[in-house]
Structure 1
Amino acid sequence: MKYTYYILLFYSISIFAQESVEAKFIDKTDLKAETLISVDNFGTQYYLKNDVIHKKTNVKTITYNNLQLGTLQSANAFNPLKINLFYKDFNTVIILDNRLAEIFKIDFNTLSPYKNVSHISTGHDNTIWVFNQDLQKLELFDYKTRTTRAQTVPVQSAVLDLTSNYNSCWLLTEDFLYVYNYFGSLLKKVKNNGYTALVESNENIILKKDHALFFMKRNKDEILPIITPNLLINQFFVTNETLYIYNSEILQQFQLKIN
């Protein structure tokens, strides 16, 4: 009987330990930017200021701007050799290399059939994921051949955010979080309980709800709260197991303790 009690106690403690993810404070840095894009493993910072993208290393800072395309809607530096910039007002994507030199321009207004794009994210090879507003479909678009390699079935609710890696894509809508492979096949969908933004790291997903962050481990459906100080979260992302939170003035780093 006593043996059974200890087994149950150990099992209860194990379950309790899985109910949240701890974020241990590492460091903080002053940073004045409108939007922080990412920080890589070498400490290189990518950020936006006055619609100009900055790449800041320990040695120097280089910039890129294309003011004729208006406001920069989003930027993605998942692949630092092919950085994606999305100018939604002009329905155009610019691809930059690691020196922030323009290597490709995709004007969706000139394509046939026309694509009305609301969100983009990095794909494998010479592809990007684009959400076609008119069709309500996610498409894997090859920007060199100007062809669609894969597409999903239409979604039924408004799109909030989109992220991807070379193998998978995560589409957050008001109703569900959808997960697709690079063939456009639906792997799973999870009910959205108020999440408004997401990022990906090593197939793990971090979600934002109000001023709190939540963690969904790869191949799992359970969503756990991340225990952080009460912070204003303007931007957030994860590199490996380092969580970055930015509040327009200070960039803070936390080590995620993932079991």
Structure 2
Amino acid sequence: MYKTVQKFIFSFFIFCTINPLCAQNLSINPTLISHYKNNSDAFLGFDAFGYSYQIKNNVFSKIKGNELFEYKNVSLGKITKVDLQNPLKMVLFYEDFNSVVLLDNQLNKMTEINFSQHPTPIVVTAIGMSTQNQLWIYNTLNQQIGLFDYLKNEYKTVSIPLTEPIQYYQTDFNTFFWIDKKKNWYSCDIFGKITSLGKIADFDKIAIINTSQYLFSKDNLLFFRGIDKSSPEAVSEIKILEKTFDNFYYKEQILSIFTATDISNYKIVTP
């Protein structure tokens, strides 16, 4: 009972804090389209070809029906992050060993890079696929965002040094998004232009949709926020069936909710 009341109070507080008018209780009601069991340690999402990607016992796998591809690299330790933007060239980041592995669509190793062996001192704590055979990287030694050409083994910085630690980051081919410890949201393009995108609400998990929209969870409640001129700080609660969940994934109007045992996929239309 206490947790239910606490969740209600938090939901009301978030809405009223971000939208002082409290004109109406905004909500989004997604449509459940599929539900099945999950036995992975970390479910990573889907691609346009219907393959699912997950990690179990530190083994990265790709599955569709009876098709199964796996990749493991014991020598590099735990997989820190996976970038699935390009299903023909996936990025596995092993932060403990300052290394990255690129895989093809059958999870064969294409390239392995140890940044500690580069002539320029590089310690990577954030990484993602960019354009033209390049990787986004955040180098903690100079606190700058850079681009690494994995074919030429060349590294260049593109941003000025960041003044606050990164709490969360997300990349696409052309943009490096990040949220700092003070909940300030920024983007950096491939030319190094940094744009302030606003202030982010407190969150447990977050997924950036674009430069003005994001989803976030807090205390097992899920919200959508869209920043526009007509309603610059409107927040909508997303009414999912799950009372608790471990994580969520959003891509092209499909919202996937992950629990320890199940995966639910919803069709969602954002305002």
**CA offsets, 1:40-88, max 9 Å, x none?**
2333110000110010012311100001111111111111111110111
* 8 Å Cα contact 1:41/1:239 also seen in 2: no
Matching residue within 39, 43, 47 for 1:32? 39
SS of equivalent residue, structure 1 residue 109:
helix
* 8 Å Cα contact 1:199/1:207 also seen in 2: yes
AA paired with 1:209?
K
SS of equivalent residue, structure 2 residue 105:
coil
Q: Indicate the larger mover: 158-167 or 238-247.
A: 158-167
Q: Tell me how far 1:102 sits from its aligned partner.
A: 0.6
Q: Indicate the larger mover: 149-158 or 55-64.
A: 149-158
- Structure 2 equivalent of residue 225 of structure 1: 236
- Structure 1 equivalent of residue 29 of structure 2: 22
Matching residue within 200, 208, 219 for 2:217? 208
1:95 aligns with 2:102: yes
- What is the CA–CA distance in structure 1 between the aligned matches of 2:144 and 2:245, rounded to whole Å? 30
Aligned residues between the structures:
245
TM alignment of 1:62-77, pairs within 5 A: 62-77=69-84
1:121 aligns with 2:133: no
- What is the CA–CA distance in structure 1 between the aligned matches of 2:186 and 2:269, rounded to whole Å? 26
Q: Tell me how far 1:160 sits from its aligned partner.
A: 2.1
- Structure 2 equivalent of residue 191 of structure 1: 199
CA change 1:85–1:218 in 2 (3 A) is farther
AA paired with 2:189?
N
Q: Tell me how far 1:217 sits from its aligned partner.
A: 4.3
TM alignment of 1:1-259, pairs within 5 A: 19-175=26-182, 176-201=184-209, 204-217=213-226, 222=233, 224-229=235-240, 230-259=242-271
Q: Which runs of 5+ in 2 are unaligned?
A: 1-21
AA paired with 1:211?
N
SS of equivalent residue, structure 1 residue 99:
coil
**CA offsets, 1:76-124, max 9 Å, x none?**
1111111110111100000001010111111110012111111212212
- Structure 1 equivalent of residue 15 of structure 2: none
Q: Tell me how far 1:20 sits from its aligned partner.
A: 4.0
Cα RMSD (Å) of the superposition?
Answer: 2.4
Q: Tell me how far 1:24 sits from its aligned partner.
A: 2.6
CA change 1:145–1:215 in 2 (3 A) is farther
TM-score normalised by structure 1 residue count = 0.84
Q: Indicate the larger mover: 241-250 or 192-201.
A: 192-201
TM-score normalised by structure 2 residue count = 0.81
Q: Indicate the larger mover: 210-219 or 110-119.
A: 210-219
- What is the CA–CA distance in structure 1 between the aligned matches of 2:142 and 2:25, rounded to whole Å? 40
Q: Indicate the larger mover: 202-211 or 123-132.
A: 202-211
- What is the CA–CA distance in structure 2 between the aligned matches of 1:82 and 1:219, rounded to whole Å? 35
* 8 Å Cα contact 2:121/2:141 also seen in 1: no
- What is the CA–CA distance in structure 2 between the aligned matches of 1:157 and 1:108, rounded to whole Å? 23
